[in-house]
Amino acid sequence: MSLLQELGAQLRATSDELPTGLVTAAMERLRSATELLNWVRQTSVDPIGVPQLGNATEHAEHAAAALRLAQDAIAAYLTAIGLSAEGAQAPDRDWRAGLEEQRKQGEQKPAPPPKQADPQPPPEQLGPWWQRRVEQLTGEAPPPPEEVDGKPVAAEMRRKINAAELMRRIASRVRTGDRAKLGQDLHTVNAATGLSLSAVAAPILRRLAGDLLGHEPRPEDIGRLRTAVAARVRSLLPGIPAAVLEQILARLCRVRVPEGSSPHPADSAVTASVLAGVLLARLGRDPSTLDPEAPEPLPSRAAADA
């Protein structure tokens, strides 16, 4: 291997190791937290940390943009010095970031709570707001307590379903068009798991949209993506506000999201996961590909024909 080829290999390895997916997942977590706090503070004059979260989200967005620019610059430089094979964009593996993070969190055992001398009062309960919002979005009422698919399910088993597994279940329901079971799957998780769908879905959406378009999503692609997914998403989520899907598509295509009212915290999470399932179906891929241990999915013929 010549010195120039070795340089190209090192630059490509550096580009592949940039944590674009992790930064994107962190950015979505901050955005979800901001939406949740905005929703809670509607009854309070106290901003309770929303400005600080907004600043953190902005910094994360700048970091993600800088990482993508660095990857593009490395690819352009390698092409310019004649290493076109090294300069060609490698398959985006950042979609694994959210799935890997969820799997690692599931493997970690929580530390036992410290012993306290005086018993503490139970935390304040906000009520089943997640289930109420899921019912509004899907039009499907919650299933009977402790029952899923006609079989009893223990509450502790519900808590073991992490966001990565929930994503695969949602993708399966989207593929079959079963809105009733889609609503059922969303109803039977707690709000924390449901809200984390935003962070898991963000890098996945970027990869799937790129495969469908044949290139990284650009501002001019927003109309094409909207045509490809909007009808299917709305058929599965008849209660979704139109602005929510538009905001997700705008972020995906790097279009500035217009300022406006903050959406309900569940809306972005549910819509992003259903959108990922719709893109998977358009590409002809199985939901099992949403697995960090699965082989790298190859672009299908649907991407070229879309």
C-alpha closest to that of 102 among 165, 46, 170: 165
When pLDDT is averaged across residues 14-41 and rounded to a whole number, the result is 68
**What's the pLDDT tens digit per position in 227-271?**
999 999 999 999 999 889 998 999 888 887 765 556 777 898 899
**What's the pLDDT tens digit per position in 188-239?**
888 888 888 888 888 889 889 989 998 889 899 999 999 999 999 999 999 9
Q: Which helix (H) or strand (E) holds 148?
A: strand 147-148
Q: What is the 3-state secondary structure (H, E, C) of 6-26?
A: HHHHHHHHHHHHCCHHHHHHH
Supply the Cα-derived Rg of the chain in whole angstroms. Answer: 21
What pLDDT is stored for residue 299 in this prediction? 56
When pLDDT is averaged across residues 169-191 and rounded to a whole number, the result is 92
Are the C-beta atoms of 215 and 92 separated by less than 8 Å? no
The mean of the pLDDT values for the chain is 75
What pLDDT is stored for residue 203 in this prediction? 85
The lowest-confidence range among 113-117, 227-231, 241-245, 279-283 is 113-117
Q: Identify which has the larger pLDDT, 81 or 177.
A: 177
What pLDDT is stored for residue 65 in this prediction? 73
What pLDDT is stored for residue 87 in this prediction? 45
Instruction: Report in angstroms the alpha-carbon separations of 146 from 81, 126, 259.
Output: 63, 20, 41
Q: Is the pTM of this model over 0.85?
A: no
Are the C-beta atoms of 35 and 270 separated by less than 8 Å? no
Helix ranges (H only) for 214-264 are 222-236, 242-252
Are the C-beta atoms of 174 and 182 separated by less than 8 Å? yes
Percent of the chain with pLDDT over 70: 60
User: Given pLDDT bands bounded at 50, 70 and 90, which one contains residue 93?
Assistant: low
Is 147 in a helix, a strand, or coil? strand
The lowest-confidence range among 26-40, 66-80, 146-160 is 146-160
Name the β-bridge partners of 148. 151
Q: Identify which has the larger pLDDT, 46 or 273.
A: 273
Q: Is the pLDDT of residue 156 over 50?
A: no
Q: Is the pLDDT of residue 124 over 50?
A: no
What pLDDT is stored for residue 262 in this prediction? 64
Q: Identify which has the larger pLDDT, 21 or 245.
A: 245
What pLDDT is stored for residue 207 in this prediction? 87
The lowest-confidence range among 12-21, 74-83, 92-101, 264-273 is 92-101
Are the C-beta atoms of 280 and 290 separated by less than 8 Å? yes
Q: How far apart are CA 77 and CA 51, in angstroms?
A: 39
- Residue type at 250? A
